[in-house]
Structure 1
Amino acid sequence: MHASFIFLTILIFCINDGLTIDCSKSSAKWCRNKRIARICGITEQCKNSVWKKQNQNDKVNFTLYYETLCPDCRQFMTTELWKTYKTIPGIVNITIVPYGNARETYEPKTDLYQFVCQHGPNECLGNLIHTCVLNYYPTIDQYMPFVYCTESTAGDVQTVAIQCAQQSKIDFNKIDACTKSKLGNQLQHIYAAQTDSLQPPHKYVPWITVNDKHTEIMQHEAEKDLIKLICKSYKGSNPPAECKKYL
């Protein structure tokens, strides 16, 4: 554990009702152990996105990199991703990363990151709302109904988010405060770093990985029939009935 801290420069600030973080740029080290994850303020994310995967090696690890106002992302999330979540949750770990083709710059004077998004400021707000929801409601059964609702509903980003929060039993006041805090800014930076560290680098969104790998063949299969791709990638001994026709 001591060696891990050689790679980290950690600053902790109290702001509003949460912690803000400034961790090493090497995101691979943030979930190295529980102490680092706690200091970086991402224990739940590590638990659900990394440690859970390590403990359930037979599950397929599927990650979606997206941005909230991208038409193709919205189509994929409300069809293929939603059907997969509802149909074969027992064989797949789904992780979503709301950042996409955005760009960030660091402002030393404010100690904050500034984000520019492909579809403008409203998309940056939507990404940040999703980021904060994932932080406070980290399990998929908590956040996915909200994500599905926002991605399937047209309209003003803030208004839609409020409506979807009410439907999904999410405290939007907490989410709204997060989007305006240093915590939210730092959490969005984490997703920026995760997206920018992709190998191969992402070229478009939606961008998918299966067990941390990406190929154009996988991408096309996911867009056409994600359930089929997950079923074919599953190596467990007891595939669900929904997979039988693909095996």
Structure 2
Amino acid sequence: MIIRKSPAEIDKIRISCQILGELLDLLAEKIMPGVSTWDLDAFAYDFIIKNGAKPAFKGYQVPGLSPFPSTLCTSLNSVIVHGFPSKKVILKEGDIISIDVGAIKDGYYSDAARTYAVGTISPDAQRLMEVTLNALYKGIEAAIPGNRVGDISNAIGTYVASMGYYVADDLTGHGVGRYLHEEPQIPNAGSAGHGPRLQPGMTLAIEPMVNIGTNRVKENGWEFSVADGTLSAHFEHTILITDSQPEILTVAKGERV
């Protein structure tokens, strides 16, 4: 069932989302060569707690896996999503790192992601990040009342393919708000005019995950990586379907790459 939110619920989700927007901007100042992903995770945990919220990912459970151990998903280079922070993972010049994070504030969830350059990166990595961010906004532009979920999927997938890249197989966006993962699933490729109709009050996490070399993924527990070891990037916003244009709730000032 797709949950349409009341104005009071939307206000609470908006506050939760604002925490993430600010956090993602602050992390941009922390990401540099020599920093461990463990330190980034500790900073994010403290920030979320100081804002009266709780990390949404830490302790999250799915069947067959141990609870997710961290505040952040820190996914480096060919890791698409769900990488674990570690004291042993030290950022190096030329890396790209995707940070995915969620928060719970007053019982309502937010979810957002951004890919960051570590120092000076290659032209290929820079272009991948730009295409992935543009794909996110292509999807958001299609999130208007009366359209269907497939219109979001088609906007993302068509653009990514036109740029010579691949969306990661079987990794999707989703509804978010009362729960971290709600209906509907939002694939990053699909047919326009298909799927549930978008209606005001829906809150959705749109999140293209884009690979350079292949759509295929390999799975290792929580972690998903590009099957051929090429680079992947990930951007995500929580948005609100309104009576007209979508509202980005996880507003961030510094996400342009």
TM-score interval for Structure 1 and Structure 2 normalised by the shorter chain: under 0.3
Which structure: greater helix fraction? 1
Structure with greater strand percent: 2
TM-score normalised by the chain length of structure 1? 0.25
TM-score with structure 2 length normalisation? Answer: 0.24
